[in-house]
Amino acid sequence: MHASATAKSPPRIVLSGQALQKSFGGVRAVSGMSLTLREGSITGLIGPNGAGKSTLFHLLSGVIRPDSGRVELFGDNITALPTHERAQRGMVRSFQLAREFGPLTVLENLLLAPQNQCGERLLPLFFGPAKVRAEQEGLYRRAVEVLALSRLTALRNEYAANLSGGQKKLLELGRALMTDCPVILLDEPGAGVNPALMGLLTEMIRRLNAEYGKTFLIIEHDMDFIARLCDPVIVMTEGRHLMEASFDEIRRDPAVIEAYLGRAAAHV
């Protein structure tokens, strides 16, 4: 970025975690972690196993409460709000282990995703049945689009419980896409997804960012995926923020190589 008198200010911060702490018994999973997520970015979050990344997501999304620290969404303090209220305010997340509804079909999983999420309206109270039907038709059209995007069309009537691990991850992303939330947190979207589908996943996220303006925070161990998609990248280690920079800078940083990339590279 070039500094000049007319330089544009950076995009606004949509989500921030400030000095977050969370211990489980004697384990300090998150230990004074702060981060900010800029509007329109695809921000990566990387770090070794056990660094506290998923726990941080639980704190940001309201699955658990921090021992101390603060979470803000669009400048509002949401630290005490439950998950569904955070979703109504514009943030949705996926889980490291997909949480599909097994007894429902793939299509039903998608159609139910917007319930209690962003954009939910109490339509039946305010509008007539025609409007409700139009809304349902809109949802259905969207589900058909999401099915095509995530290559799940052929499996639309399959029970979610019968999907492979990779297909469940795609369904999980599909469920996040069914909502109108502008901020999407993804915990290892690529885990268990085969290399061909990884390319598809990357394209889906890129399009959602470029064409729909969605902001992403993504935990991922696949460094190709991070390198292709994420800027900036935040490195977390031992519950703390270690560094934030472009992937190119991060992969050359001795502290990052020591804490993570050296080991990750050794496993590739």
Ligand X SMILES: Nc1ncnc2c1ncn2[C@@H]1O[C@H](COP(=O)(O)OP(=O)(O)OP(=O)(O)O)[C@@H](O)[C@H]1O
Q: What residues have CB less than 8 Å from 119, skipping those under 6 apart?
A: 179, 180, 181
E strand or H helix that includes residue 83: helix 83-88
Give the shortest CB-18-to-ligand X separation in angstroms.
18
Q: How far apart are the first and last CA of the chain?
A: 33
Distances (CA, A) of 74 to 10, 14, 65: 15, 5, 19
Distances (CA, A) of 16 to 13, 82, 92, 202: 7, 16, 14, 24
DSSP at 42 = E
98 or 107, CB closer to ligand X? 98
Give the shortest CB-97-to-Mg ion separation in angstroms.
9
Amino acid of residue 211: E
Give the shortest CB-19-to-ligand X separation in angstroms.
17
96 or 202, CB closer to Mg ion? 96
How are strands ordered across the β-sheet holding 42-46? 91-93, 183-187, 215-219, 42-46, 233-237, 240-245
Find which of ligand X, Mg ion, none residue 27 binds, CB within 5 to 8 Å per kind. ligand X
- Per-residue binding string, ligand X, 33-72, x by CB under 6 A, is --------------x-xxxxxxx-----------------
Q: Which stretch binds ligand X (CB under 6 A): 22-30, 79-87, 109-117, 159-167?
A: 22-30
On whether the CB atoms of residues 202 and 229 are closer than 8 A, the answer is yes
Give the shortest CB-136-to-ligand X separation in angstroms.
37
The footprint of ligand X on residues 81-110 (CB under 6 A) is 96
Give the shortest CB-188-to-Mg ion separation in angstroms.
6
38 or 221, CB closer to ligand X? 221
46 or 152, CB closer to ligand X? 46
Out of 29, 33, 184, 264, the residue judged to bind ligand X by CB under 6 A: 29
Give the shortest CB-65-to-ligand X separation in angstroms.
13
Q: ∠ CA(63), CA(45), CA(96), 5° rounding?
A: 45
47 or 114, CB closer to ligand X? 47
Give the shortest CB-64-to-ligand X separation in angstroms.
8
Cα torsion angle, 225, 57, 19, 183, sign: positive
23 or 105, CB closer to Mg ion? 23
171 or 219, CB closer to Mg ion? 219
Residue whose entry in the numeric block shows the structure tokens 């992937």: 247
Q: Facing residues of 72 across strands?
A: 16, 77
User: If binding means CB under 6 A, how many residues of this protein chain bind ligand X?
Assistant: 12
E strand or H helix that includes residue 30: strand 27-38
Find which of ligand X, Mg ion, none residue 50 binds, CB within 5 to 8 Å per kind. ligand X
- Contact residues toward Mg ion (CB under 5 A) are 54, 96
Q: Which residues of the shown chain bind ligand X in the complex (CB under 6 A)? A: 24, 27, 29, 47, 49-55, 96
